[in-house]
Amino acid sequence: MAIVQEPVAEQSIGRTEARYRARTPKSRAAFERNQVAVPGGVPGGLGVMLPYPLYIERAQGRHVWDADGHRLVDLLNGDWVFPLGHGNPKINAAITAQLQKGITFCQPEPDLQYALSQLIQERIPSMERMRFTTSGTEATMMALRVGRAFTGRPKIAKIMGGYHGTHDASVIANGRYTDPTFVPRGLIPGTKESVVLLPYNQPDECERIIRAEAEELGAVIVEPMLGGSGMIPATKEYLERLRRVTSECGVVLIFDEVVTCTLGPHGAQGRMGVIPDLTTMGKALGGGLPLGAFGGRSDIMDLVDSALYPFDRPVRHASTVGGIPICLAAGVAQLEQLTPEVHAHIEALGEQVRSGVGALATRLGVPLQATGLGQFFGLHWTSVPVVDIDTAFTSDSDIIGRIALGLCNEGYLCFYFNVMGVLSLPMTSEDIEGFLQALEATLKENDLC
């Protein structure tokens, strides 16, 4: 039987928001103080909430403490950067040790980049050569540039709803806007025309478009799991088709694994058994410090300027604080601890969330579903199976926002506009049971069941 979605009652909206305001007066004061000089009161663009952001003072393990002293289970983990939890002793020790030696020298440090590159190659063998960056945004920007340089073709293709940071090509249909056709202001002229849009999880249509555009298409970039659109996994068939058609058309295939590089011991590509030409990494790679990477086939990466001949290569890459020693040290400490046992633990927690949400939705008769893989999950309020950006947009964003606010009131911190989360090593099965109980309480407070 189809479920008809009814608007949320104003009275229930008032209850949830009133509780939030009553709990967080110091966050409200911080917002009013900060927004005068900082748009939205948030320094890097993340953390926006309605009616105002929750400001965090400290974190440890699986918990954060807000400005009013409330302890919350942290399902954000710094935007997916702490699979080992906050304040990991070995990461802290590595950062402290390097701090004593020096943060950065402009000249390369002899051991850390080698150590981290070896750890990355053990996890993702397709990254035969790599460069380090400050972020995933920089990594995807550079990978696309290298792909165009290698093929000599001017266009790139991306997935509708794919989020690859905030450089110009990425913000076309990047899943962060309610209208997929919306083009932000300020882009370099011709950006929209240089980007080919592909559907997600529709292999036949995707292949048709790539073949039609192949003569001008230099690279295709895809997230094996759409992160910013709500943790929506690609099917194996879809990724296999992308691999086949790009190979046949001579197009560079890029997997954006900024989110999924810690999805199991070998990332999403190892999990799916589909190997791209280039890979981008970020977020958890740096152990909490700003670090990204792009790399892949040696013949493609040979186009990036080398130490011996910096001006005879087609692609210039220079990043003042990209891959600086203190970030590399944190990255080494992070990857060394991400053992198969750690991955098994956090993936089991992810399965517990997704199955628990499904069981709760069935019992309460509500159109709530959970997507994701491994330690990642996203919640959607719709009876339509969420498999791409179009079906993700059927989710009621107002209800999802109220669920996020209610979960915050109950002591669980998630993203506000898309209720998404990631599980970490310090978390337990009891934490997940508590989350599911908090979710049920939130649904009842908002008269949703």
Q: Compute the half-sphere exposure of residue 230: CA atoms within 13 Å on the CB side of its CA.
A: 28
- Based on the domain organization, do 41 and 96 belong to the same domain? no
Instruction: With respect to residue 2, please indicate whether it lies within any of the assigned structural domains.
Output: no
Do 331 and 256 lie in a common domain?
A: yes
Domain at 315, CATH number: 3.40.640.10
User: Are 97 and 242 within one domain?
Assistant: yes
Q: What is the CA radius of gyration of the chain?
A: 22
Whether residues 265 and 151 fall in one domain? yes
DSSP 8-state class, residue 61: B
Tell me whether residue 3 is in a domain. Answer: no
Q: Quick one: which H or E segment has residue 420?
A: strand 420-422
Please give the DSSP secondary-structure letter assigned to residue 304.
B
121 and 247 fall within a common domain: yes
Question: Between β-strands 129-133 and 292-296, what pairing exists: parallel, antiparallel or unpaired?
Answer: antiparallel
End-to-end CA distance of the chain: 16
Q: Of 288, 307, 337, which closes a domain?
A: 337
Predicted confidence at residue 220, as pLDDT, reads: 98
- The answer to whether the beta carbons of residues 156 and 148 sit under 8 Å apart is yes
Whether 323 is covered by a domain: the verdict is: yes
In this structure, how many other beta carbons lie within 10 angstroms of the beta carbon of residue 7? 9
Domain boundary residue among 337, 355, 388? Answer: 337
Does one domain contain both 150 and 229? yes
- Does residue 192 lie within any of the structural domains? yes
Q: Which amino acid is at 159?
A: I
Q: Does 320 lie in the same domain as 245? A: yes
Q: How many distinct structural domains can be found in the chain?
A: 2
Give the residue numbers spanning the domain of 414.
10-83+339-445
46 assigned to some structural domain: yes
Last residue of a domain, one of 293, 313, 337: 337
Domain membership of residue 5 (yes or no) is no
Q: In this structure, are 31 and 21 located in the same domain?
A: yes
Residues 230, 322: one domain?
yes
Query: Does residue 1 belong to any structural domain of this protein?
Result: no
| Sequential pLDDT tens for the chain (449 residues) | 333 334 444 444 588 999 999 999 999 999 999 999 988 888 887 888 889 999 999 999 999 999 999 999 999 999 999 999 999 999 999 999 999 999 999 899 999 999 999 999 999 999 999 999 999 999 999 999 999 999 999 999 999 999 999 898 988 888 765 566 777 889 999 999 999 999 999 999 999 999 999 999 999 999 999 998 999 999 999 999 999 999 999 999 999 999 999 999 999 999 999 999 999 999 999 999 999 999 999 999 999 986 555 556 688 888 899 999 999 999 999 999 999 999 999 999 999 999 999 999 999 999 999 999 999 999 999 999 999 999 999 999 999 999 999 999 999 999 888 889 999 999 999 999 999 999 999 999 999 99
Residue 93 lies in a domain: yes
Residue whose tokens read 């993700």: 392
Looking up residue 76, the CATH number of its domain turns out to be 3.90.1150.10
Residues 349 and 281 in one domain: no
pTM recorded for the entire structure: 0.94
Residues 323 and 259 in one domain: yes
DSSP assignment of 77-91 equals HHHHT-TT-BT-HHH
Residues 208 and 150 in one domain: yes
Res 41: pLDDT:
86
pLDDT at 282: 97
- Give the β-pairing of 71-74 and 412-413: parallel
